[in-house]
Amino acid sequence: MRKAQSPVYSKVCKTEVVCPNDTNPMGILQGGRLVQWMDIAAAVCAQTHAAKICVTASMDTVSFTQPAHVGDIITMEAKITRAFTTSMEIKVTAWSRSVFKTRKSLISESYFTFVAIDQDGKVAAVNGVKPSSATEKSEYEAAAKRRNHKLNPHK
Ligand SMILES: CC(C)(COP(=O)(O)OP(=O)(O)OC[C@H]1O[C@@H](n2cnc3c(N)ncnc32)[C@H](O)[C@@H]1OP(=O)(O)O)[C@@H](O)C(=O)NCCC(=O)NCCS
């Protein structure tokens, strides 16, 4: 029988520092590099929840709401919202903070869908999610609507 795990069990916090090689000629963090970091945070979260290798199936729209600059500290939180049969939705939120400031700014967030894979490369069932807090419960409910929209975009 599938067990249900708390989203806290697999929550991932990842930190990076923006280096010159991560930026455009203006010293602003490239969007693709941020998405790469977010994808890794989400993959670790999915694989921890599933205890299996997981692949990225899709990601929702990614908006970049604030620029981050060379030397800024980027923190990312990846948290599972819901598991279906073999797929899981992971919410990733990213913030930027200057070394000289205490306040961090939200720079991006998106929902990633990962699918668990077995040793033969076939899709594999994963454990369920047991939300506890009001936010976790609301994300859990909304995840079903987002999934329906992704799988049936014209309905
Ligand atoms: C993701 C992948 C494993 C799905 O394989 P598939 O043969 O379509 O599998 P299925 O049709 O049985 O679907 C498996 C699950 O994936 C979900 N899924 C498939 N495509 C999806 C998509 N585009 N978005 C969201 N979920 C998706 C299905 O809803 C299903 O979920 P469920 O079991 O929880 O109901 C396959 O498409 C794949 O290997 N893609 C490449 C992954 C990869 O390399 N990622 C890195 C990109 S660089």
* Alpha carbon of 63 to ligand 1 centroid (Å): 23
pLDDT value at position 151?
A: 87
- Which residue type is seen at 90? I
Please check the confidence at residue 1 and state whether its pLDDT lies above 80: no
**Ligand 1 centre and the CA of 103: distance in Å?**
38
Instruction: For residue 130, report the distance from its CA to the centre of ligand 1, in Å.
Output: 23
- Domain count of the fold of the chain: 1
pTM of the model: 0.96
pLDDT, tens digit, 9 for 90 and up, residues 67-119: 999 999 999 999 999 999 999 999 999 999 999 999 999 999 999 999 999 99
pLDDT at 153 over 90: no
- Ligand 1, CB within 6 Å, residue ranges: 55-58, 84-87, 113, 115, 123, 150-151
pLDDT at 90: 98
Q: CA torsion sign, 143 to 15 to 45 to 36?
A: positive
Domain extent, residue 147, equals 4-151
Burial class for 73, CB neighbours closer than 10 Å (0-12, 13-18, 19+): middle
Q: Whose CA is nearest to atom 1 of ligand 1?
A: 57
What CATH number has the domain bearing residue 28? 3.10.129.10
Q: What is the pLDDT of residue 143?
A: 98
Nearest CA to ligand 1 atom 48: 56
- Mean pLDDT score, 25-45: 98
Say whether 131 sits in a helix, a strand or coil: coil
Give the residue-averaged pLDDT of 6-25: 98
| Average pLDDT of the segment spanning 23-32 | 97
